[in-house]
Amino acid sequence: MSVETVVDRYLDGRITVLIGDLTDQRVDAIVNAANASLLGGGGVDGAIHRRGGPAILETCRAIRATRYPQGLPTGEAVITTAGELPARYVIHTVGPIYGQHRGDEPRLLANCYRRSIEVAREHALTTIAFPAISTGVYGYPASEAASVVSRTLSQWLATDDSFTEVRLVFFNRSHAETFVAAAAFGATDESA
Ligand code: APR
């Protein structure tokens, strides 16, 4: 079990920014930064499948064979078992690849968080943990992502109290500090 460090809390403590491993989070759902194939990859996706075991991939394959034969579109989200992970479910979403969406990246990144939250609510889940979606392999600058994520979560938390805990889990201190420095919680700019 890796050591976790809480870096900051926002919005009456309902949002927690922490340094840790997403796969350690004991919450209703962790959110996977997947790719359209839903068949695994590197980064947090690889960690989830490695630690969660084959049941996750089996469910992903079933989703590809039925609902998403062409792959999961960017900004969409689906839910599977969490297999051997401490979490109950994994919500898989596909983040935008920075520079590949003709300026539509902020909206697509916001959709990853919005759709993951909607899927969690459809399953009556109340605690959820996100990685920094798209800020790794997909190249989204961490400070730009922080602005989109904090505004999106502020908008949603302002109208919905069904979640008791939203964790933003960063793999290292510098990423967490970049997020805190750029976050704009309380702003509800519709542009995101
Ligand atoms: N816990 C928390 N955060 C993690 C973990 C972990 N175990 N592993 C990686 N991260 C962080 C990375 O440091 C990065 O800040 O998650 C963030 C997202 O990075 P990626 O996992 O590379 O995800 P993303 O940028 O969305 O790219 C998705 O990469 O792994 C492949 O299959 C995945 O093709 C997809 C693409």
> Dihedral, CA atoms, 70, 72, 74, 80, nearest 10 degrees?
180
Kindly give the number of the ligand 1 atom that is closest to the alpha carbon of 140.
25
Q: Assess contact for 68 and 38: CB atoms under 8 A.
A: yes
Reported as a single tens digit per residue, the pLDDT across 26-67 is 999 999 999 999 999 999 999 999 999 999 999 999 999 999
Predicted confidence (pLDDT) per residue in 102-157, tens digit? 999 999 999 999 999 999 999 999 999 999 999 999 999 999 999 999 999 999 98
Listed residue (132, 153, 113) closest to 44, CA to CA: 132
Task: Give the residue carrying structure tokens 């899927």.
Answer: 119
Angle between helix 142-159 and 173-182 (nearest 10): 60
CA–centroid distance, 45 to ligand 1, in Å, is: 6
* Per-residue model confidence (pLDDT) at position 118: 97
Domain ranges of the chain: 5-182
Percent residues over pLDDT 70 in the chain: 95
Ligand 1 pocket, CB under 6 A = 21-23, 33-35, 41-47, 95, 131-138, 169, 171, 175
3 state SS of 112: helix
Testing ligand 1's pocket by substitution, the residue of 1, 5, 60, 137 carrying the most ligand atoms inside 8 A of its CB is 137
Is 45 catalytic? The answer is yes
Residue 88 has pLDDT above 60, yes or no: yes
Q: What is the pTM of this model?
A: 0.96
| Domain covering 5-182 assigned CATH 3.40.50.2300 in the classification | no
